[in-house]
Structure 1
């Protein structure tokens, strides 16, 4: 116990030295609470380990004090190392903004409320603009170190477009060892769950949707995602004109749920009923999840009764994820699976599909593919092979 108290004192002093560079007055209450909790857990673990160890009948009345001492020392050091170097690295939340408009957006964040935290230390704006059709991680803030018990901290981000702006908000309240967080947008009611919230807005002269939600990211902090999405104009198909042919290409992110994609079924349902109508043909990519893609294909047949098959090659775990859906008859279809693949792409039957489509006697030859992504020299070379 003396060794533990000595180590605890050293770590407390070290923590004080580190934090005084961040704030003028060190905030040790959360760290002290962690130490007391670790001390309590350490003793419970040691007692259980000692009770579970077989005793020598000859010396059953004499506990092995040397073993107990080393056990306490090693467990204490392990717990302290985990607490001191593990928790601080992950006790943060990050804020993301997706710009689905065709113009760049500028962003500016201010922190108000209790004023003991500083930019560049406990919180930081990571980006000041979001390119068109892009997602940017623009803000981080700490969830424990420097956050005082009972104090409130507001983070307010103004997103500026060509002629419009929106406000993104988060609010921290310090607890004894951590902090609670709520989020909102445009001064709406504060939210503290992981539901999706939507606001219908006018942004840069267009009807749009501002959506946001919290997402589990790590044990010590959720991340928060905001998106500005212009409402898509309903396509009007020229039913009588054989020389008019509207095509949409759509990556529906239908990878295996729980591995890469999220909410696959809900997303497929929304796309099938809200985005799809009005085109002569659509080329879909990443319809890899078999159950969800079968549901999706069945539900778009009312609008697009003619569908190509999804490529699949024996020996691959996943199908190719790509198919063409057409309003008009498909007279000929074909597909290939790329043999050149690298890394995780070798699990899927990625390739290309072809459909010969007849619209009132006019033939349209439509191809769709989904090649290797990323920008390393190896990735680029693989795309050229495709």
Structure 2
């Protein structure tokens, strides 16, 4: 029997201090690929994420996902003993994740300079609304503010109404992804230098980084992007189209070759040669008229029939899924994108699968987020730091853990 491959990050230990979204999402990504992620919460003020979102039997349903594969310990960093104990943990760690307002760690005597003096190889991932420097650094900054000031909110929605938001906390998630990329880069660099460094990730900058050619559009072409609903101006056809059964499908056929295939699926191959539609530029100029013509075709067919025809001709298309559609979709099932995990109180718990998929050392979901605050105190403090049971009792009585 072949020996099972180790997970790629099994030799990495992470101390996660963050709350809610941006920091803990990074911790989840590390934990999914084998890192030992130790989630640290104050004994008197646990992460609000434990209660966020929908609940069942009084148990929050977001927490088991966000904190999966992590260990849970308690530690009061507002106390001198707690700060010293944290430094003990830092000596055994590779990464510290925090997403407090800038200056908080420094106030506790836990700046990077002080922590790296204990462990020069330490990498510190710092995620905040506006970064660790600059005139806005001390502002409170949630994901929604980053989405607004990063440029995303202004271009989201329809032009005849106010800006809207995406239905998820996309600013926090983008920041977590960029922070994780930065941290993995620093881990790689550490192999040659032997030294850690700070990863400074701002939510607004993470949003701004995915805003495509927003700035040169303005500075070089005097164009300010506005809300355009379900289209991108000049990119056609790429829209949602009503079907005969009163639903919508998405079609993306803006490349020349794909547009020709769409015309064949519609039974109008000659349309691909029409001067109004033959090129990307021409289709962009005649976008509205072209979309009307395509919707005349989709409106004559039920959604499934239209999608089958589009698939047969190799045209990118799809339904606008609800969560019910996602759960029932065989492609999601075949690629293990919904994985049942045993929850100690709720029984079988459906988890979103691990992304991305590695061919030889894929990530794993071993356990849901710890439902008991400080569940792994004994494991971490006794086994990792070698503290005695009597001393742990003393720390508990002093509200340090």
Same-fold status (TM-score > 0.5): no
Structure with greater helix share of residues: 2
**Which one scores higher on RCO, CA 8 angstroms, separation ≥ 6?**
2
Structure with greater strand share of residues: 1
TM-score, normalised to structure 2's length?
0.27
